[in-house]
Structure 1
Amino acid sequence: MKKTLLLVAAVAALALPAAAQQSAVTNAILNQRNGLLDKARTDIDKAIVNEKTSGKAKTWFTRGDIYDQLVASPIYGKALQPGEGTRTAFESYQKAIALEGKDGEYGKQAAAKLDNLYGQAFNAGVEGYNAKDYDKALANYKMAAQIRPADTTAVLYSAYAQEAKQDFAGAKASYNQLLGMNYKSVNLYARLLQLARQQNDEAEAAKVLQQALAAYPNNKSFMLEDLNVSLASGKGEDALAKINKTIAADPSNSNLYAVRGSMYDRQKKTDLALADYRKATELDPNNFDAQFNLGVYNYNRAADAYTKASKMDLKTYQKSGKVLEAQGKKYFQDSVPYFEKALQLQPDDRNTLTSLQKVYFRLGRTVDSERLNAKLQTLKK
């Protein structure tokens, strides 16, 4: 009889530590229900480091639930470090799912809690960003992205935070992560293009631009960027094809006609150039380049007429020289309104000042000519 009693006592003694640890989880739950979150936190933190309870999904789910409530508590939440509550809840729910799967009793509940936790993490990220605490913002955005791996919003906001803290490599990685998630937007490509330019990586910029055009072939901004690349590289025919396509997509853009007019000018296609300059000023009378180039066209025609007249022998001059000079004078007169408008738009432009000063002189407008000459002398000082 004594041996039996001793055996029972020994078994009871062996069971005490495990029961004590199981009671730590139970006590944590009871304290949580009674609103004593500080005591619940102490109990559950003990339970997760004990080998008897640390391997149970219930322990980790309970810990996540307690820390979740701590974050929401205006009293007990003050004891947490910034971001500690949400991060601990997130890690705890993940552990519960890892131990039991999403179909288990606590794994299923943890998965639902994680979904709610996304909003907390994302909002904490927004708060950090608005406070210009970009590291805090990033930590929370990344947590939100872990909670919902297929969601692109947190990744996009991570990129914004990385740009704000001038972590351009990180921002580029986040934008490319979005592309890998089949997220596309004009702004995303525009930001990648800007980042490449900031880093003076023209090869990367060219690559991004082609990706952007493949995704948005009729986007005006990307088409203009592509046109500028062709113009800068001297690929005239390629540039002309691109600008024609750009004009087709944006027929009311005055600048496009002015640019194409300049291209036709370089190709000695004067009639086509004039048509584009006139179209540009029709769409926007304040287009400086078009106004100036129309002035130049008339100026050059006048100069050609006077030059031809000056090279005639006396007999030929007496026959047709005066006619040529009259034509030249008319072209000078025709250039005046274009040069005057250009000067109104850019009052200190030397080329316009010089051209108009010469025109005034040839037309006998001495006072106007001297006025512009005086301004030119002032600008040289």
Structure 2
Amino acid sequence: MKKLVLSIAMVAAASLAFGQKKVVREAEKGFKSGDLQTALTAIEGATTNPETSGDPATFLLKAQIQTKIFGADTENTMETVEVGAQAVSTFNKAFEMAGSNKTSSVGKAVYAEELPGIPDNLRPYSLFTLKNLAFDKALEKYNEEDLEMSYEFFNLAGEIDKTDSTIHYNAGFLANDLGRFEDAKRHFGYLFELPTYNKTNAYYFMVQILSTEEKNPEAAFELVTKAREEYPNDKVLAEYEIQLLLQLNKMDEAMAQIKDALANDPNNSGLLLRSGYLKEQAGDLNGALEDYKKSVAVDPNFFEGNYYTGALLLEQATKELNTLNDLSDAEWEKQSPIVGKKADANYNESITYFSKALEIKPDNTDIMIILYQVYSRLKKTAEMEAMNKKIAAILGPNWQDN
């Protein structure tokens, strides 16, 4: 009798195991036929049953079903992203259960490569299939100008493959554009770890984030120094280095870097402007003015070059007029016409540069007010009245009272 009871129990256990394997087969059938919700329900039951939950192939099939559901979803919302993230987690669980061995049957299936343009019925539905599906959805959302969702899909694809430079550059670019700077830094950080990848653009973004968004010029300078070691001939990185040296008040180092940079790129208007700025800070106003004028000669539409040139001409005029304050009355009478003539020459010359700056930025009321004051100083009544009308049209008729 005892033997009979044992036999019945064994038959029952075998029947139960057979039943669970049948559930797995039903899930496989639904996966292949496209009845994905039925397949998912069946496989979820199998993943919680002791008879099949210990088999990594069960979780592999679940991940493949989730991947197919992810790909079939045309809504492409955050819910879609969540399905994809669940598939990643399930793939990882299957791989771990298989001993994290890429040579095992499950390991090979998890990381099966996917050929471009392969028909759906031949897709391996591996992690790389999931990555490619996420990438396609990211591009689709980008083309629809839904940058937030485009980023989410790029990010999902990037979580699968940390070495895909295209994915992480796009994800970093979008994250930066969306103001998600920590995410941007993470993606650009992955790019820095790729030994053969050209990282210059990633460095550009990271330096801007550190210096402008995080207000951390020290960290930005440390990064740009590292970048310059890797790309010593990159002109943009050279300019960033100079800019950061200026922010950190390392004037001597900045000037040395500018001289080296100008030797390689003498017609760089930005470098000429910075050279002029450093000379101005050091008190070499004539040298500064020369560099500012050179920057405009190189690029007549360089707003900063025109503005800085005009501003320094005004400063020189003011300094010249201030020299009269220390003179005796007799000496003042003698020198005033001479000094005034020199100052007026600077005022007149400044008009050329400020007028060009205003042409470049026609709504800049600060420049309008400067020109109004210069015209007033030079008694150019018609020009002064015309400028007053422009300013009043923007700031109101009582703009001088503000």
Query: In 2, distance between residues paired with 1:277 and 1:142?
Result: 45
Which whole-Å deviations, capped at 9, do the CAs of 1:167-198 have from their partners, x for residues lacking one? Answer: 43343344334334455633323333333332
CA distance in 2: counterparts of 1:133 and 1:335, whole angstroms: 50
Counterpart code for 1:40 = A
- For 1:11 and 1:121, the matched residues in 2 are separated by 47
In the alignment, the residues of structure 1 paired with residue 385 and residue 328 of structure 2 have an alpha-carbon distance, to the nearest angstrom, of 29
User: Is residue 192 from structure 1 mapped to residue 192 from structure 2 by the alignment?
Assistant: no
Deviations 1:124-157 (A, max 9, x none): 455567675848954x445423432332444444
Q: Could you say what secondary structure the match of 1:206 adopts?
A: helix
Equivalent residue of 1:276, what SS? helix
- Secondary structure at the aligned position of 1:251 is classed as coil
Contact 1:303-1:328 within 8 A present in 2 as well = no
2:24 equivalent in structure 1: 25
Structure 1 residue aligned with 2:161? 148
Matched, 1:253 2:264: no
Aligned to 1:107: 107
Identity of aligned residues (%): 22
Are the equivalent residues in 2 in contact too, given 1:27–1:40 (CA < 8 A)?
Answer: yes
* Cα separation, partners in 2 of 1:280 and 1:68, compared to 1, 3 Å: closer
Residue matched to 1:289 = 308
CA contact (8 A) 1:127 1:137 kept: no
**Kept after mapping to 2: 8 A contact 1:292/1:338:** no
Kindly tell me the number of residue pairs found equivalent between the two proteins. Answer: 364
- Amino acid of the structure 2 residue aligned with 1:97: F
Where structure 2 has 5 or more consecutive residues not aligned to the other structure, the ranges are 113-125, 359-364, 392-396
**In structure 1, how many angstroms separate the alpha carbons of the residues matched to 2:387 and 2:102?**
84
Change (3 A) 1:115 1:370: closer
Match of 2:93 in 1: 95
Q: Which residue of 2 aligns with 1:168?
A: 181
Structure 1 unaligned regions, length at least 5: none
CA gap of 1:69–1:243, structure 2 versus 1, over 3 A, is closer
CA distance in 2, matches of 1:338, 1:74: 66
Partner of 2:294: 279
The answer for the alignment partner of 1:242 in structure 2 is 257
Following TM superposition, by how much is the alpha carbon of 1:73 offset from its aligned partner in structure 2, in angstroms?
A: 4.5
The Cα shift of 1:231 comes to 4.1
Structure 2 letter corresponding to 1:91: S
Q: Tell me which residue corresponds to 1:121.
A: 134
Matched residue SS, 2:80:
coil
CA contact (8 A) 1:57 1:106 kept: yes
Residue matched to 1:342: 353
Within a 5 Å distance, the mapping from 1:192-271 to structure 2 comes to 192-196=206-210, 197-231=212-246, 234-261=249-276, 263-264=278-279
Cα displacement (A) at 1:341? 0.8
Deviation at 1:53, TM superposition (A): 1.0
Q: How big is the shift at 1:234?
A: 4.9
Distance in structure 2 (CA, Å) of the matches to 1:149 and 1:61: 21
Q: Which amino acid aligns with 2:208?
A: Q
The CA distance in 2 between the partners of 1:247 and 1:352, in whole Å, is: 32
Larger radius of gyration: 1
Structure 1 residues 371 and 299: alpha-carbon distance in aligned structure 2, compared to 1, 3 A threshold: farther
Cα distance in 2 between the residues matched to 1:267 and 1:34: 78
CA distance, structure 1, for counterparts of residue 247 and residue 72 of structure 2: 61
Matched-pair contact (CA < 8 Å) for 2:192–2:199 = no
1:107 maps to amino acid: G
Q: Following TM superposition, by how much is the alpha carbon of 1:116 offset from its aligned partner in structure 2, in angstroms? A: 1.6
Residue equivalent to 1:13 = 12
| Matching residue's letter, 1:13 | A
2:27 partner letter: A
Tell me by how many angstroms 1:21 deviates.
Answer: 1.4
Which has the higher mean CA deviation after the structures are superposed, 156-165 or 242-251? 156-165
Deviations 1:288-340 (A, max 9, x none): 333554576689789989x9999679xxx9xxx8xx99987975675465233
Q: For 1:53, what is the secondary structure of its paired residue?
A: coil
- Counterpart-to-counterpart distance in 2, 1:195 and 1:206: 12
